[in-house]
Amino acid sequence: MAGVSSQSLAAAKKDLEPRLSGATLMLAEELFGVLDMLDSNAGLRRALTDPSRQGKDKSALVQQLIGGKVSEEAALIVKDLVATRWASARDIGDALETLAATVAIAVAENKGTGSEGLEGLENDLFAFISVVASSHDLQRALSETQADATAKSALALKLVPHAGDEARLLIRQAVLSPRGIRSSALVGRFVELVAERQERWIANVSVTRPLSEDQYSRLQAGLNRLYDRDLKVNLTVDPSLVGGVRVKVGDEVVDATAFARLSELRRKLAV
């Protein structure tokens, strides 16, 4: 996904973020259900990605189709999604799949300490991928398009009997609606989304010289307060920083190095 579709997906993920603290698996299931509807109707996908149609008209069409059938929150997420521009009909489905999976992943994240919930989900998904990869018979059974959906779902979940509800939902979705790829490959994509989410719980810190135990403890405590979560700190010594500290948590970079301050000064002098 690139260009305008990539921009639209980035905006949709940003809009979704405030909703994730109270996310439920029901919301994820509803979004996956709307995705299945889009995937089964090529005409609808074309209508929702037609650049000549106004965003409000696309939203109104979605409201007619799913209004009252899903929660207001799910309907609003989908209406906002279709109101933006997409380069292809396939892209809007991929985007909705990403949003639905992100909701399920956030549910796992919200359990206890978020990093532990995400690690558990990742382990469950990896377990499924590993078991399927070890058996050609399983691969054939799960890719059989004429097989009964209930039987395929039951088989898939039997492979990971101790998986949590979030993993079971994602695995079931991948098996029943692989959308043109192997189910294990789609689960692999979900793992990538989990890893992306985990970055929010990891602080990659670069310093100019090794820290004492006390300095490390104060750094850890300060970052936990700043981000209001228990972060895992990965510490790297980089003498080229000249002085200060550089912190990266997810997409956010806090750069307090001497080099950064010098560069900012140079930019101001150049104005």
Taking Cα atoms as reference points, which of 68, 89, 175 lies closest to residue 129?
175
Residue 238 contacts residue 211 (beta carbons within 8 Å): no
CA atoms of 157 and 154, how far apart (whole Å): 5
Q: Both 162 and 254 in a single domain?
A: no
Q: Both 257 and 129 in a single domain?
A: no
pLDDT category of residue 79 using cuts at 50, 70 and 90: very high
Residue ending a domain, among 198, 217, 252, is 198
pLDDT category of residue 257 using cuts at 50, 70 and 90: confident
Residue 108 contacts residue 118 (beta carbons within 8 Å): yes
Q: Both 179 and 205 in a single domain?
A: no
pLDDT category of residue 92 using cuts at 50, 70 and 90: very high
Q: Both 193 and 206 in a single domain?
A: no
CA atoms of 205 and 4, how far apart (whole Å): 33
DSSP codes, 121-149: HHHHHHHHHHHHHT-HHHHHHHH-TTS-H
Q: Are strands 202-207 and 252-255 parallel, antiparallel or unpaired?
A: unpaired
Q: Both 75 and 182 in a single domain?
A: yes
pLDDT category of residue 259 using cuts at 50, 70 and 90: low
CA dihedral sign of residues 56, 61, 66, 68: positive
Confidence (pTM): 0.83
Domain that residue 249 falls in? 200-270
CA atoms of 115 and 131, how far apart (whole Å): 24
pLDDT at 245: 85
Residue ending a domain, among 198, 227, 256, is 198
